[in-house]
Structure 1
Amino acid sequence: MDLGISGRTALVLGGGGGLGGAIARALAAEGANVAVADIDPRAADRTAKSVEESGATAMALAWDLGQPGSVDAHISSVEGALGPVDILVNNTGGPPPSAVLDQDPELWLKHFQSMVLSVITITDRVAPLMRTRGWGRIITSASSGVIAPIPGLGLSNALRGSLLGWSKTLAREVAADGVTCNVVVPGRIGTGRTQYLDRAKAEREGRSVEQTAAESVASIPVGRYGEPREYAAAVAFLASTRASYITGSVIRVDGGLIASL
């Protein structure tokens, strides 16, 4: 299936990680030019290199989403090298495991900036030109905790949840201009973040990582963790011309994990 995005410019935040890297490669495989942004410049470079090795055009950006003043400069560099952003993938890192009560307000502010306000600011920067051009895709990667809050991930549940209301509202504001906005929710995907959370849970509960991971797998109807490429395939489809009538939606890529309707 031709997704119709050859020659489009995609900006993938968190593109040096497991999910972000897979998304960047999936978009590149469809002919998109990809800007890979990550707080770790070496990780961004690795992903960009893998994209270029596939024959696509890529650029790497060392980008700390906690620094709001850098947004315009980074977007301008993407526009100068690859052209206006047609596809924005808002994929941010997650906060450490935590309760909700008794967290330092400064901790809330720090992660609100990097996980929520950064997404809003970057989208505000690229969306006007998408609307002018009559085409755009804004895809925000969240967490299963936005549907069924995950015990021990208080900051993540609360902050990522706010992006659902934002994305749904934005979708209605820009739909008539050919711009779609959707949220993609990963379940347990086999990435470094998932391994980190398994280790943290094992330490809290005084169990082995193997026991914790086995219990997690047992809760997934398909009986395994997802692969990053499976998640990336869903994002690539939402970025496509084929998905022009899908907007304001929350798409689960979870192997059946989330039990709620």
Structure 2
Amino acid sequence: MDLGIRGRVAVVAASTGGLGRAVAEALAAEGASVVVAGRRGGLAKEIAAGLPDAVGVQVDLTDPDGPQALVEAAREAYGDPDILVLNGPGPRPGTAADLDSGDLAAAVDALLLAQQRLVALALPAMRRRGWGRILAIGSSGIAEPLPGLVLSNAGRAALAAYLKTLAAEVAADGVTVNLLLPGRIATARVAALDAARAEREQRPVAEVEAASQAAIPAGRYGTPAEFGAAAAFLCGAPASYVTGTALRCDGGLVRSL
């Protein structure tokens, strides 16, 4: 299937590792001009150098000036973004009963406010041109809050509510707004969560991983490439009638419809 994004400008936030990097690579493979962004500028440039048409940008999106710097870097390299992929680092694990208000504010800043700033900068040009794709890398915790991850659950749910509202407002302008919700994808983040759980429960990491995989109908963790492929579709021309949707890429982990 031709996704119709060859030559489109794609900005992928927090794309120096994990799911963000997988999405950047998938979009690049479809011919998009990709802006790889992250706090590790050297790594962003290294990743970009390995893609067909990409630039790497060092940026901290939680810095008030970070979103502006990223969008300006994209414009300087390629022009206004056609595709904006929202992503942010997962907050530390924690329980609701022990929630610290400072940690919650930091999570909302990273997972909601920084993303909204990016949207506000990129959206006007999309609407003027009558074509745009905004996709957020979320979490299955939006559909079913995850135990021990209250900061992620809260921050990502707030972003989902904002994006769902936005989707209806800009659909007639040819701009789609969606979320892609990963389940257990084999990334460094999931490995760290498994290790933390193993330490809490005084169990071998392999045992924790096996238990997690047994709870997934597919019987395994997903791969970053599988997630990237789903993201690329939602960013493509064939998905022009898909908006305001939270699609799960989780091997059947969440049992609700």
- TM-score range normalised by the length of the shorter chain: over 0.9
Give the one of 179, 182, 187 matched to 1:183. Answer: 179
- Kindly state the Cα deviation for residue 215 of structure 1 after the two structures are TM-superposed: 0.2
* 1:29-78 Cα shifts (integer Å, max 9, x gaps): 11100001112223322321221xxxx21111111121022322321121
- Kindly state the Cα deviation for residue 101 of structure 1 after the two structures are TM-superposed: 2.6
- Counterpart AA for 2:35: A
State whether residues 3 and 240 of structure 1, in contact with CA within 8 Å, keep that contact through their aligned partners in structure 2.
yes
Q: Which residue of the partner structure matches residue 72 of structure 1?
A: 68
- Kindly state the Cα deviation for residue 232 of structure 1 after the two structures are TM-superposed: 0.5
Q: Which residue of the partner structure matches residue 213 of structure 1?
A: 209
Give the one of 94, 97, 103 matched to 1:101. Answer: 97
User: Counterparts in 2 of 1:92-171, with a 5 A limit?
Assistant: 92-171=88-167
Q: Which residue of the partner structure matches residue 26 of structure 2?
A: 26
How many residues align structurally?
257
Give the one of 81, 86, 92 matched to 1:90. Answer: 86
* 1:150-201 Cα shifts (integer Å, max 9, x gaps): 1111111111111111111000010010000001000100000000000011
Asked if 1:194 is matched to 2:177, the reply is no
* Distance (whole Å) between structure 2 residues aligned to residue 25 and residue 98 of structure 1: 32
- Kindly state the Cα deviation for residue 260 of structure 1 after the two structures are TM-superposed: 1.4
* Distance (whole Å) between structure 2 residues aligned to residue 106 and residue 60 of structure 1: 31
* Distance (whole Å) between structure 2 residues aligned to residue 243 and residue 144 of structure 1: 21
- The TM-score normalised by the length of structure 2 is 0.97
- Counterpart AA for 2:254: I
Q: Which residue of the partner structure matches residue 17 of structure 1?
A: 17
Q: Which residue of the partner structure matches residue 203 of structure 1?
A: 199
User: Which residues of structure 1 form unaligned runs of 5+?
Assistant: none
- Counterpart AA for 1:34: V
What SS is found at the alignment partner of 1:68? coil
What SS is found at the alignment partner of 1:181? strand
State whether residues 95 and 156 of structure 1, in contact with CA within 8 Å, keep that contact through their aligned partners in structure 2.
yes
* Distance (whole Å) between structure 1 residues aligned to residue 125 and residue 223 of structure 2: 34
* Distance (whole Å) between structure 2 residues aligned to residue 150 and residue 72 of structure 1: 32
- The TM-score normalised by the length of structure 1 is 0.96
- Counterpart AA for 1:241: A
State whether residues 65 and 113 of structure 1, in contact with CA within 8 Å, keep that contact through their aligned partners in structure 2.
no
Q: Which residue of the partner structure matches residue 44 of structure 1?
A: 44
* Distance (whole Å) between structure 1 residues aligned to residue 161 and residue 106 of structure 2: 20
RMSD: 1.0
